[in-house]
Amino acid sequence: MPSPSDLVAQDFETLYHNHLLPYGDAEVSEEFLKQITELMSAHIIKSNNRDEKVLNFVYPEKLEKFFKDYKITEKPLSLQKIIDDCKMIMELSVKTAHPRCFNQLFSGLDWVSLAGECITAACNTSMYTYEMAPAFNCLEKLTIDKMASLCGWTEPCDGLFNPGGSISNLYSVQAAMNYYFPNVKQEGCYGMPKMIAFTSKHCHYSMQRAVVILGLGTNSLRQVPVDERGRMIPEELEKLVLACKEKNEVPFFVNCTSGTTVVGAYDPIEEVNKICKKYNMWLHIDAAWGGGALLSKKHKHLLKGIEEADSVTWNPHKMMGVINQCSAFLCKKKDILAKCNKMNASYLFQQDKLYDVSYDSGDKTLQCGRHVDVLKCWLMWRSKGDIGFENHINHLFSLADLLYKEVKARDNFEAVFDNPQCTNVCFWYIPKSLQHLDRTSTEFKEKIHKIAPKIKAEMMLKGSMMMSYQPLDTKPNFFRMVFNNYGTRNEDVLFLLDEIERLGKDL
């Protein structure tokens, strides 16, 4: 075993897994982790460099072939080989921290949040019981309460951090089912009245998935029409509710989206809430994407009425930039999650422990072991403060404002929706060859539909940026730009339009 002083020059080629703790040496272990940290830092620093490519695209068939040389072998591989593996993996990965990685509702890389995720890994525990995760259970409660207070909730609530917003949305439907029909836990949906949930046509697809998973089936979800800006139309909701009642179906749940995935619409919570109260339905707010606006005095009006909701999904890993995954589910009714999921496993949730077992959070979840997702959020929030997050959110909205104005100002771009509410800006790029066509003609629609995928393919092969496109309702493929990376600046907004023009000029 080398002495610590040799380690800087240590050749990991001759060191193996068993040279690490618990059988090996503390110094070797420490030095190994240092080398990994250096790789991490180098990757993130590189990702922050605008001259670097966002990705090095490789076709899947080719990559699969490449990985044939990276099989798990019978014999151990040296630690140097492991370090090389890490380097290789990072080179093949999308630089999600790049200020021009606009593809998803998450991006950027916050160093403090990263620190939280690394410390979480070193603590390697599970949330299910207080005894295994005392500090993390306390922090979860603190952070959930903080988020609830930003929703204007005045009483302490229940809540959990979950592996993604889809799971949080699933909880909301499950909670509502069990609230109105407590027998469902025992009897399932058999013999139950036909429970009907409502959501806007533009909601996240996880609402549909939730009713499928929960045994209600897609037939139990009604899609409410939206207005020209993509917001649920309350009158249409009421019509659908009344139509259900006529068929002896039982309306029990409404989801209001705060920040729809594609156009970033905020459904009118206050008006929808009135209908929920009138017909005794659960009001859920899916603010997975748009919840970040609550951190800004300027933009929080978009979620006016959220104080009346029964439950909320809000993903700090989206607009707030916390490391993936971090999704909070807030629930006003304090005992309903336990009623849904409590199984009283006697090996885990013993009632004769030395402490108050109401602090054991595990028996109300869909999971058993649950990853600690709170530290990376709490730590980042501590570090930025409320003010830091307010600036962060305002910055993202101002980028969207700039992009929208540029789209309106440039002749070869057209906005899909006027005056976007969130940081989503949807637009078409219209190449010269299509400019003369009637916008309502089939020819135009067919041709423009192919433009965005072509430009997207080009930008991926070039690696200059990444952004998303999709069709919507009867609208042909358009670009959806979303701002969620605090590192993105005005120059990147101009770059993205210029780059689309460059890539698309000959189409």
Residues within window 198-237 making contact with a second copy, judged by CB under 8 A = 204-206, 208-209, 211-220
3-state secondary structure 49-112: CCCCCCCCCCCHHHHHHHHHHHCCCCCCCCHHHHHHHHHHHHHHCCCCCCCCEECCCCCCCCHH
**Do residues 34 and 96 make contact, with C-beta atoms less than 8 angstroms apart?**
no
Shortest Å distance, C-beta 276 to a second copy: 22
Q: Determine which residue in the list 197, 320, 466, 493 makes contact with a second copy, applying CB under 8 A.
A: 466
**Do residues 96 and 47 make contact, with C-beta atoms less than 8 angstroms apart?**
yes
Closest CA to 294 of 164, 147, 406: 147
Token pair in block for residue 31:
């030095």
State yes or no: residue 445 binds a second copy (CB under 8 A).
no
Q: Which residue has the tokens 């499950």?
A: 174
Q: Mind giving me the DSSP string for 185-222?
A: HHHTTTT---EEEEEETTS-THHHHHHHHTTS-GGGEE
State yes or no: residue 5 binds a second copy (CB under 8 A).
no
**Interface residues for a second copy in 83-102 (CB under 8 A)?**
85-86, 88-90, 92-94, 96-97, 99
Q: Which is nearer to a second copy, 381 or 413 (CB)?
A: 381
Q: Which is nearer to a second copy, 46 or 229 (CB)?
A: 46
| CA pair distance 389, 411, nearest whole angstrom | 35
State yes or no: residue 36 binds a second copy (CB under 8 A).
yes
**Interface residues for a second copy in 232-261 (CB under 8 A)?**
261
State yes or no: residue 75 binds a second copy (CB under 8 A).
yes
Shortest Å distance, C-beta 42 to a second copy: 9
Q: Indicate the angle between helix axes 375-409 and 111-123, nearest 10 degrees.
A: 150
Q: Which is nearer to a second copy, 96 or 273 (CB)?
A: 96
| CA pair distance 373, 385, nearest whole angstrom | 19
Binding-residue pattern over the window 166 to 205 for a second copy, x denoting contact by CB under 8 A: xx--x---x---------xxxxxxx-x-x---------xx
Select from 41-49, 267-275, 306-314, 439-447 the region that touches a second copy (CB under 8 A): 41-49
Q: Which is nearer to a second copy, 219 or 441 (CB)?
A: 219
Q: Which is nearer to a second copy, 220 or 421 (CB)?
A: 220
State yes or no: residue 18 binds a second copy (CB under 8 A).
yes
Shortest Å distance, C-beta 430 to a second copy: 18
State yes or no: residue 494 binds a second copy (CB under 8 A).
no
| CA pair distance 125, 115, nearest whole angstrom | 16
Q: Which is nearer to a second copy, 149 or 280 (CB)?
A: 149
Q: Mind giving me the DSSP string for 126-146?
A: -TT-TTT-HHHHHHHHHHHHH
Q: Determine which residue in the list 163, 225, 463, 476 makes contact with a second copy, applying CB under 8 A.
A: 163
Q: Which is nearer to a second copy, 235 or 461 (CB)?
A: 461
State yes or no: residue 139 binds a second copy (CB under 8 A).
yes
Q: Which is nearer to a second copy, 262 or 272 (CB)?
A: 262
**Interface residues for a second copy in 264-303 (CB under 8 A)?**
none
CA distances from 141 to 127, 379, 455 (A): 12, 14, 46
Shortest Å distance, C-beta 439 to a second copy: 21
| CA pair distance 389, 54, nearest whole angstrom | 26
Count of residues that bind a second copy according to CB under 8 A: 170
Partners of 148 in beta bridges: none
Q: Which is nearer to a second copy, 11 or 30 (CB)?
A: 30
| CA pair distance 36, 87, nearest whole angstrom | 9
**Interface residues for a second copy in 323-362 (CB under 8 A)?**
323-325, 340-341, 343, 345-348, 350, 352-356, 359
Select from 158-166, 265-273, 413-421, 433-441 the region that touches a second copy (CB under 8 A): 158-166
Shortest Å distance, C-beta 474 to a second copy: 12
CA distances from 172 to 148, 169, 203, 312 (A): 15, 5, 14, 8
Q: Which is nearer to a second copy, 104 or 274 (CB)?
A: 104
State yes or no: residue 79 binds a second copy (CB under 8 A).
yes
Closest CA to 465 of 114, 103, 194, 155: 103
Q: Which is nearer to a second copy, 239 or 471 (CB)?
A: 471
| CA pair distance 113, 250, nearest whole angstrom | 43
| CA pair distance 76, 85, nearest whole angstrom | 14
Q: Which residue has the tokens 């009632």?
A: 351
Q: Determine which residue in the list 4, 134, 156, 182 makes contact with a second copy, applying CB under 8 A.
A: 134
Token pair in block for residue 469:
């496109």
Shortest Å distance, C-beta 402 to a second copy: 18
